[in-house]
Amino acid sequence: MRHEEKEDSILLAAAEDKFRQCSQQYMLTNTGFLDLRQRSLVEARCRQLERSAPEVRCVFFGGYEDAERTMALFLPDYASEEDAPLRVVRAETLSGSARLSHRDYLGSLTGLGIKREMIGDILIHETGADILVLEEMAEFLLLHYSQAGRVALKLKEVPLSELRIPEVRSVTHKDTVASLRLDNVISSAFSLSRAKAAEAIRSGLVFVNSAQTEKTDAPVKEGDKLVLRGKGKAFLREIGARTRKDRIFISIERFL
């Protein structure tokens, strides 16, 4: 068994345990934070499990809409996303300090021995970053996280309602495609050759509405969210009429 397959097997077994614990003990349970690929695997397994235990609701939550890293929440009927065991730790740099990058924060956090699944999105803002973490990590960070690179940090916990979500910038462009196959639309959305788009899809780098999709000819419809790992995300906003050469007009919004 390859290393990745072994990790996937461990992840799914842990998610199943959390699902059954929720069903048997009537309590909210959760996984750690998942990336898009892990979420796709867990979501598929959850849909299978829900057939035998419809009293358990599985949702994915990362603290705000469109969070990239989310935890799977297994909810009994009395619970909701608001009960998710996550916290927001705000790290602020001292006045005059160099602005830190996402890599600076993530590297310094993992340098403390913190596993990646304990950390959600890291949202950079002008004076620092808001870091979403599992509930049990908040106190540890407040006590031990004081520096990223050579920059000193001042930490405090803030309510989720005060989370600073960066302003999203996007551009919209119009194009034509031969068909609404996934490889055609990914090629247009991310300015790739069709061959490069197909290679990315087959390599498991493309997600449609958070589901990993490895079929180059998978159909795409209006409103679909497209993610190419390492390149960003886009939405197929509009499908128009056909041209005289039988190509299809599309409008794509890409986030920068």
Which H/E stretch holds residue 55?
A: none
The pTM of the full predicted model, rounded to 2 decimals, is 0.85
Report pLDDT for 4.
Answer: 72
Which parts of the chain have pLDDT scores under 50? Answer: none
Report pLDDT for 1.
Answer: 52
Among 124, 114, 58, residue whose Cα is nearest residue 91: 124
- Own/partner long-range contacts of 240-246 (Cβ < 8 Å, ≥24 apart): 243/176
Report pLDDT for 210.
Answer: 86
- The domain boundary residue, chosen from 30, 61, 83: 83
Report pLDDT for 155.
Answer: 96
Sheet order of strands, 29-34 included: 29-34, 70-75, 57-61
Whether residue 77 is found in the same domain as residue 97 = no
Question: Looking at residue 79, which CATH number applies to its domain?
Answer: 3.30.1370.160
Report pLDDT for 3.
Answer: 66
Give CA–CA dist 153/176, Å, rounded.
49
Report pLDDT for 197.
Answer: 97
Number of domain units in the chain:
3
- The domain boundary residue, chosen from 121, 143, 162: 162
- The domain boundary residue, chosen from 83, 101, 133: 83
* Residues near 77 by beta carbon (within 8 Å), at least 6 away in sequence: 55, 57
Whether residue 197 is found in the same domain as residue 214 = yes
